[in-house]
């Protein structure tokens, strides 16, 4: 008889009412790339406000395998890359974390060689790395893929990567970050055009500049980097996570609750706040790092995900949950990833009325969702299902917590502090 492993699940009691202030953690998508950026420095980097996430632990494993000494105390992380020697990233760890690919730029520009397993696709899309590879080749690297491994090394007698002018066909966050890091120790100037402008790109640039890198224009479509000889030790604080903050704003809106968030950087939430205000929610900037949400009668709206400063794809699933209980018709268009609407089927199991046509989701708001057993399909979908569970009538049981734990630092604990009735428990037999 097949022994079924007990399933960790979240049990969420609906029609929650929240109150109080939630503390926002450091940004996952900053911390991960800045940890890779630490490889550029041959001394120690001291990072603070690092979130406690599975993805952070996995990247730490990859870096340790390369010879990096890492110690974590609470939300502080010390990385000493003095003895960086390995350039082969271990497949069994890299295959669990796509963000491991961020190490290719630093390894190549620091050691002149890097061998990284090609990151696989994931639930939301194929996640190709052609823009990263094309840019590194433009900087004089020899890059080829063999047996699923990306081999990158300096050409012939080159001692360093060469500065280049690179135009990105798409403002890819990862490609911008890979090439910006590679350029910090290259020969001469690199210009990245049509660069990503996300706050996490700016955070990485500020971290590299704090180590002595010469970078101008981060946060605009054109970034100029002038290579330097070496980068020095640094202490750096990661910015607050704008996507976690946005997730809690939706938690307040979907449960008609007044809550506040701290710390946040309001400018990073401009598109999200504009959408919530359009929907009838009040967002008040209480001080430079504190937002207060005052709920209102929700009005339907249309959303199109775009590169920053457009509406973030990482907030699409959460807004889908909110729009599913907003009277009227709304349209969500996902333009960034090719398969990021899997949460629609699960929301419909809870009584939502959403139809998918290609990249479009047509939502007809219902007055009430009903709690149900659901399966998370990816990181932000898991957050969306928690939000739907908070608003639904009855109890929702969510499986697939490994997705949630990759990107949220104690989401259920923070929601409980706001008054939600949400518990992590195990089911002896899977629900379905
Ligand atoms: C980063 O992924 C984030 N991850 C994602 O967050 C986020 O959704 C995404 O940026 C967009 O904002 C991290 O920072 C660790 P992209 P990344 O390169 O860098 C295509 C989350 O939920 N593309 O901007 O992989 C790609 O297929 C995660 O926290 C190429 O075609 O995103 C996609 O369609 C999910 N070729 C689009 O660009 C390439 O070489 C955007 O991808 C690279 C990307």
Residue range 106-141, pLDDT digits in tens: 999 999 999 999 887 777 888 889 999 999 999 999
- 5 CA distance to ligand 1 middle (Å): 33
Strand pairing partners for 59? none
Q: What is the mean pLDDT of residues 257-277?
A: 98
Atom of ligand 1 nearest to the CA of 196: 24
Check if 336 has its Cβ closer than 6 Å to any atom of ligand 1: yes
Residues 82 and 167 in one domain: yes
- Return the best residue to mutate from 96, 130, 173 for the ligand 1 pocket (most ligand atoms within 8 A of CB): 173
Question: Are 346 and 417 found together in one domain?
Answer: yes
Q: Residue 156 Cα, ligand 1 centroid: separation in angstroms?
A: 32
Pocket test for ligand 1, best of 172, 376, 384 (most atoms within 8 A of CB): 172
How many residues belong to the chain? 432
Which CATH number characterizes residue 128's domain? Answer: 3.65.10.10
Q: Is 320 left (phi over 0), alpha (psi -120 to 50) or beta?
A: alpha
Looking at the structure of the chain, the number of domains it has is 2
**Does residue 1 form part of some domain?**
no
From 215, 237, 259, the end of a domain falls on: 237
Domain shared by 255 and 218, yes or no: no
Catalytic residue of the set 41, 45, 122, 208: 122
In a domain, 375, yes or no: yes
Same domain assignment for residues 14 and 32: no
Segment 397-416 shows an average pLDDT of 96
122 labelled catalytic: yes
Does residue 432 fall inside a structural domain? Answer: no
H/E stretch holding 11: strand 7-13
**CB 174 near ligand 1, within 6 Å:** yes
192 shares a domain with 272: no
210-216: long-range contacts, CB 8 A cutoff, minimum separation 24: 210/234, 210/236, 211/37, 211/40, 211/41, 211/45, 213/40, 213/184, 214/184, 215/180, 215/184
For residue 95, name the pLDDT band (cuts at 50, 70, 90).
confident
Give the distance (Å) from ligand 1 centre to CA of residue 367.
34
Contact 215, 179 (CB under 8 A): no
Q: Are residues 373 and 247 in the same domain?
A: yes
- 203 and 313 together in one domain: no
Q: Is 367 exposed, middle or buried (0-12, 13-18, 19+ CB in 10 A)?
A: exposed
pLDDT in the model for residue 430: 62
96 and 152 both lie in a single domain: yes
Q: Does a structural domain hold residue 246?
A: yes
Q: Return all residues near 279 (Cβ < 8 A) that are at least 6 apart.
A: 253, 296, 298, 299, 300, 301, 322, 326
- Share the mean pLDDT of the chain: 95
269 Cβ closer than 6 Å to some ligand 1 atom: no
Judged against a pLDDT cut of 70, whether residue 429 lies above it is answered with no
204 and 322 belong to one structural domain? no
How many alpha carbons lie under 13 Å from residue 367 in its C-beta half-sphere?
A: 0
Contacts of 265 (CB under 8 A, 6+ apart): 199, 239, 240, 242, 289
Any domain includes 190 = yes
The residue from 198, 218, 237 where one domain ends is 237
pLDDT of residue 2: 63
Provide the phi-psi class of 315: left if phi over 0, else alpha when psi is between -120 and 50, else beta: alpha
Q: Are residues 324 and 265 both part of a single domain?
A: yes
Domain boundary among 203, 237, 271: 237
Q: Is 381 in the pocket of ligand 1 (CB under 6 A)?
A: no
**Based on the domain organization, do 370 and 304 belong to the same domain?**
yes
Asked whether 29 lines ligand 1 (CB < 6 A), one says: yes
55-82 pLDDT per residue, tens:
999 999 999 999 999 999 999 999 999 8
Position 432 scores a pLDDT of 60
| Predicted confidence (pLDDT) at residue 151 exceeds the cutoff of 70 | yes
Does 407 sit in the ligand 1 pocket, CB within 6 Å?
yes
Examine residue 182 and state whether it is found in any structural domain, yes or no.
yes
Same domain, 48 and 69: yes
Q: Domain span at residue 215?
A: 28-237
CB distance 298 to 322 below 8 Å: yes
> What gap in Å lies between CA 125 and CA 311, rounded to an integer?
19
What is the tens place of the pLDDT at every residue in 192-222?
Answer: 999 999 999 999 999 999 999 999 999 999 9
175 pocket-lining for ligand 1 (C-beta < 6 Å): yes
Q: How many CB atoms lie within 10 A of CB 337?
A: 19
**For the CA of 171, the nearest atom of ligand 1:** 24
- Identify whether 141 is part of a domain: yes
C-alpha separations of 41 from 34, 71, 142, 220 in Å: 11, 16, 23, 25
């Amino acid at each position: 008889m097949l022994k079924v492993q007990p399933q960790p699940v979240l049990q969420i009691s609906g029609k929650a009412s929240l109150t109080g202030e939630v503390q926002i953690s450091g940004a996952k998508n900053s911390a991960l790339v800045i940890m890779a950026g630490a490889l550029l420095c041959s001394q120690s980097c001291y990072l603070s406000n690092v979130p406690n996430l599975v993805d952070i632990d996995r990247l730490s494993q990859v870096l340790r395998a390369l010879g990096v000494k890492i110690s974590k105390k609470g939300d502080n992380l010390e990385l000493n890359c003095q003895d960086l020697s390995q350039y082969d990233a271990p497949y069994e760890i890299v295959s669990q974390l796509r963000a491991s690919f961020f190490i290719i730029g630093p390894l190549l520009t620091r050691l002149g060689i890097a061998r990284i397993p090609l990151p696989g696709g994931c639930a939301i899309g194929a996640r190709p790395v052609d823009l990263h590879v094309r840019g590194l080749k433009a900087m004089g690297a020899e890059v080829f893929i063999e047996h699923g491994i990306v081999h990158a090394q300096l050409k012939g007698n080159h001692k360093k990567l060469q500065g280049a002018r690179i135009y990105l066909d798409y403002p890819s966050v990862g490609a911008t970050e890979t090439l910006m890091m590679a350029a910090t120790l290259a020969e001469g100037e690199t210009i990245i055009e049509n660069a990503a402008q996300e706050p996490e790109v700016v955070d990485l640039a500020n971290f590299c500049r704090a180590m002595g890198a010469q970078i101008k224009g981060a946060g605009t479509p054109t970034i100029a980097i002038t290579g330097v000889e070496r980068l020095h030790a640094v202490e750096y604080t990661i910015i607050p996570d704008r996507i976690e903050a946005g997730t809690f704003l939706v938690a307040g809106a979907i449960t008609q609750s007044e809550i506040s968030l701290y710390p946040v950087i309001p400018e990073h939430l401009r598109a999200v706040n504009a959408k919530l205000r359009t929907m009838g929610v009040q967002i008040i900037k209480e001080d430079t790092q504190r937002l207060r949400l005052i709920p209102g009668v929700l009005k339907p709206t249309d959303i199109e995900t775009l590169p920053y400063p457009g509406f973030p794809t990482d907030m699409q699933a959460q807004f889908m949950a909110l729009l599913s209980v907003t009277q009227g018709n709304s349209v969500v268009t996902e333009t960034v990833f090719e398969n990021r609407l899997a949460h629609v089927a699960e929301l419909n199991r809870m009584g939502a009325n959403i139809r998918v046509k290609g990249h479009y989701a047509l939502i007809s708001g219902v007055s009430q969702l009903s709690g149900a057993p659901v399966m998370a399909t990816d990181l932000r979908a898991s957050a969306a299902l928690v939000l739907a569970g908070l608003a639904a009538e009855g109890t929702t049981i969510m499986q697939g917590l490994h997705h949630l734990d990759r990107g949220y630092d104690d989401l259920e604990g923070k929601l409980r502090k706001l008054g939600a009735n949400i518990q992590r428990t195990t089911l002896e037999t899977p629900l379905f």
